[in-house]
Structures are given as structure tokens and as C-alpha cells.
């Protein structure tokens, strides 16, 4: 790895959202609240799925994996941004930046692959309901989940490892609140041809192909729904995939909006807000999207919260 031209002992500077102290305090409170809601909401989904036997089905098993990936995805970037705003510091080490890049790609890829697997689950449930139990066996669900994690872990390595070979010039300021790979590549003095070839190759394989799979899945779903004669049957079929479709729209709408925007937009406030949408808002909304319209999840969450309250009361009684 070439490090000769790097300055500040390999430290980067995250410019963040703003330099205004009052606005920073407001953003600190807002982001902290959103982060706590995100982690709490997704943890409750995981606990509900684990503790309730009624939710031991392929759909909820995959949903719990998505919640775990969302916690990791958010925790990769937001705690560092919160710390920087709290301490009025903007620095991040080279190792910390590279680690952030790797885990950001890992959990982002995992979100992508899980949404694809969940789309396949919805295709089987709507297009082949009589064969659902036969096709979506626990072993297959476990293999698909483990496969998506393995692919994410390995698929995030090429983009990260090729970044280690780069050297950087005097200006190492990243106009973002986290180490975005595209922004890092703009700061290097090295030839980035290999990096961009790897980035676009991985994006096609682990981004475009899964998205194509989701679109093909929903084309089959909509085709099957249109063949249903009764309006009630159509509504019931669509309601089983409505939450997933909304999550897919939020995730891809914001992430693609960032990475396919123009160069001028890339360094603007719009880019930061769009990044907050898919790194923070979408993971925060996922538990609400899946729980508000799902009676099974709501009942399971109610039981989990009741158990937590009872345990808290017993703990307080022992202390007193």
C-alpha cells in the first residue's frame, strides 16, 4: 500500500452537515433520537420473531435478518457522526475510514440481497400458495440467509482492499458525515482505474442483478394478482407484499438517487439528505412498516413488551 504522499498520519476529515454550532446541536439531538428508535425498533422485531412460535415462518425469519442488517448498517456510520458532532471533532483515522467503508458495503449489500430473497418468498406465497410449505422449507430459508451473509462478507472485500493501495494528497476532506467510497476515490493521487472497474463490477453483480431479480419477482406477482377475479382476493394478495414493496421503494429510491446523481449534486446538501434517508430513515421506518399493517407482528410485540415490563417490575421489587 502506498502511503508516502498521505498527510496527517493518514487521517481524513469528515466535513459533516454544517459548521453552525446551534444547528449541530439540533442535528445531534435529531440523529441520536432517530438512531435509538432504529436500534430499539429493529431489536424488538428480532425479539418478537425469536420469542413467538407463531412467527417461526420464512417471511419473519428473513425479516429478523433484515432487522439485524439494518442495525449494523446504521451503526456503521451514525455513532461516529454523533461523536464528531458532540466533540466538535471531524477527524477519522485511515484505518477507521477503511473499516467504515467495508462494513457500510457489507450491510448495504446484505440489505440488498435480503430484499431479493424476501421478494422470492413473496412470489412463492402469492403465485404458488399451495406449494409454499414444500418450497420454502426451513433448510432452504437458512441456506438463503447464510448465503446472503457470506456473499456480503466476501463481496465487500474487493472494493475495500483495492482502496488500500491508494495514496492521498494534501487535501483529505470528505464532504460527508461518513467515509463514502466515491468521495474517498476523489481525494487520491493514485490511478483509480482499477478501483472504478472493481466498484462498477461489484455494483452490477451485487446491486443490479438483485434489483433485476426483485423487478422480475414483482412482475410475476402483479401478473398473478391481476388474474384474481375478486377485489377482496386482489387486496389480500397485494397486502401480503405491500410492506416489502414499500421498503424496496424507499431503499432503492434513495440509494440510487445518490449514486446516479450529477457531480454537482454529489457534494450538495441534497446528497447528504438523501444519504440520511437510506442510511438512517429507511432502517428506522422498516420496523414500523412491517408492524403497523401486520397483526401477527403487533401481537408478538405486545407480548414482548408485556414480558419486559413484568421483568422490570420483578427487578425493581428485588431491589426494593
In a domain, 1, yes or no: no
99, containing H or E segment: helix 94-127
Confidence of residue 135 (pLDDT cuts 50, 70, 90): very high
274, containing H or E segment: helix 269-276
> What CATH number is associated with residue 143?
1.20.1070.10
Cβ proximity of 155 and 206 under 8 Å: yes
In a domain, 289, yes or no: yes
In a domain, 221, yes or no: yes
In a domain, 111, yes or no: yes
Cell digits of residue 8: 496527517
- For the chain, the average pLDDT equals 84
Percent of the chain with pLDDT strictly greater than 90? 38
Q: What is the pLDDT of residue 71?
A: 95
In a domain, 2, yes or no: no
Percent of the chain with pLDDT strictly greater than 70? 91
| Total domain count, the chain | 1
In a domain, 291, yes or no: yes
Q: Report in angstroms the alpha-carbon separations of 14 from 138, 172, 251, 269.
A: 44, 9, 24, 14
In a domain, 3, yes or no: no
The pTM of this model reads: 0.87
pLDDT tens for 261-303 read 544 444 456 667 777 777 888 888 888 888 766 777 878 877 8
Per the structure, the complete domain to which residue 190 belongs is given by 8-319
In a domain, 26, yes or no: yes
Amino acid at each position: 500500500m502506498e502511503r508516502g504522499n498521505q498527510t496527517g498520519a493518514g487521517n481524513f476529515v469528515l466535513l459533516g452537515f454544517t459548521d453552525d454550532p446551534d444547528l449541530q446541536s439540533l442535528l445531534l439531538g435529531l440523529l441520536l433520537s432517530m438512531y435509538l428508535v432504529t436500534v430499539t425498533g429493529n431489536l424488538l422485531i428480532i425479539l418478537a420473531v425469536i420469542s413467538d412460535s407463531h412467527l417461526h415462518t420464512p417471511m419473519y425469519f428473513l425479516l429478523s435478518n433484515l432487522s439485524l442488517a439494518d442495525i449494523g448498517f446504521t451503526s456503521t456510520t451514525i455513532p461516529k457522526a454523533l461523536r464528531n458532532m458532540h466533540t466538535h471533532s471531524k477527524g477519522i483515522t485511515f484505518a477507521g475510514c477503511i473499516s467504515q467503508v467495508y462494513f457500510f458495503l457489507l450491510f448495504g449489500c446484505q440489505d440488498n440481497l435480503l430484499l431479493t430473497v424476501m421478494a422470492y418468498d413473496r412470489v412463492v406465497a402469492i403465485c404458488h400458495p399451495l406449494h409454499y410449505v414444500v418450497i420454502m422449507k426451513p433448510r432452504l430459508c437458512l441456506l438463503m440467509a447464510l448465503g446472503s451473509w457470506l456473499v456480503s462478507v466476501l463481496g465487500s472485500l474487493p472494493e475495500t482492499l483495492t482502496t488500500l493501495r491508494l495514496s492521498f494528497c494534501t487535501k483529505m476532506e470528505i464532504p460527508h458525515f461518513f467515509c463514502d467510497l466515491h468521495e474517498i476515490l476523489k481525494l487520491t493521487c493514485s490511478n483509480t482505474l482499477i478501483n472504478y472497474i472493481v466498484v462498477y463490477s461489484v455494483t452490477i453483480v451485487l446491486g443490479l442483478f438483485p434489483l433485476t431479480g426483485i423487478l422480475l419477482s414483482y412482475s410475476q406477482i402483479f401478473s398473478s394478482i391481476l388474474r384474481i377475479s375478486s377485489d377482496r382476493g386482489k387486496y389480500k394478495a397485494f397486502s401480503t407484499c405491500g410492506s416489502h414493496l414499500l421498503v424496496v421503494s424507499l431503499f432503492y429510491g434513495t440509494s440510487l438517487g445518490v449514486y446516479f446523481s450529477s457531480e454537482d449534486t454529489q457534494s450538495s446538501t441534497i446528497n447528504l439528505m438523501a444519504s440520511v434517508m437510506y442510511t438512517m430513515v429507511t432502517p428506522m421506518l422498516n420496523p414500523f412498516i412491517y408492524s403497523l399493517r401486520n397483526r401477527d407482528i403487533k401481537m408478538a410485540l405486545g407480548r414482548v413488551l408485556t414480558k419486559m415490563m413484568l421483568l422490570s417490575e420483578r427487578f425493581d421489587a428485588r431491589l426494593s
